[in-house]
Amino acid sequence: MSAICPDCKTPPTDHQEWSCFCGERFNHFVNIGKCPHCGYIHEFTECLQPDCKSITLHLNWYPPVTENVKNLKTDLNLISYLEKAPLSKNPIRKLDVE
């Protein structure tokens, strides 16, 4: 999974580590923020770039998720367009009629 900081767009490196409340240090990007020691799921991830240090929602680091949501919205728009479209221009309704 390719993650980037939502603010500075820098990807985290494989050897970056974040510390958990339990004292464990681990890479948030191995198991979507889940601590391998205590199992706590870290909802926020701090960017370790010295000039960024932005603390953002961990899931916002995954651009494909955002893209998928955008695509999903497009699909929903298309569906609501088809539902409102006149019968002759509506392939879904046409199938129903037959």
Min dist. Cβ of residue 69 to Zn ion (A):
21
Judged by CB, which is closer to Zn ion: 54, or 80?
54
Judged by CB, which is closer to Zn ion: 24, or 93?
24
| CA–CA dist 23, 89 (Å, integer) | 62
DSSP label at 23?
S
Min dist. Cβ of residue 68 to Zn ion (A):
22
Q: Which residues contact 54 (CB under 8 A, 6 or more apart)?
A: 5, 6, 7, 8, 46, 47
Min dist. Cβ of residue 64 to Zn ion (A):
18
Residues that bind Zn ion (CB under 5 A): 5, 7-8, 20, 22, 24, 35, 37-38, 40, 47, 49, 52, 54
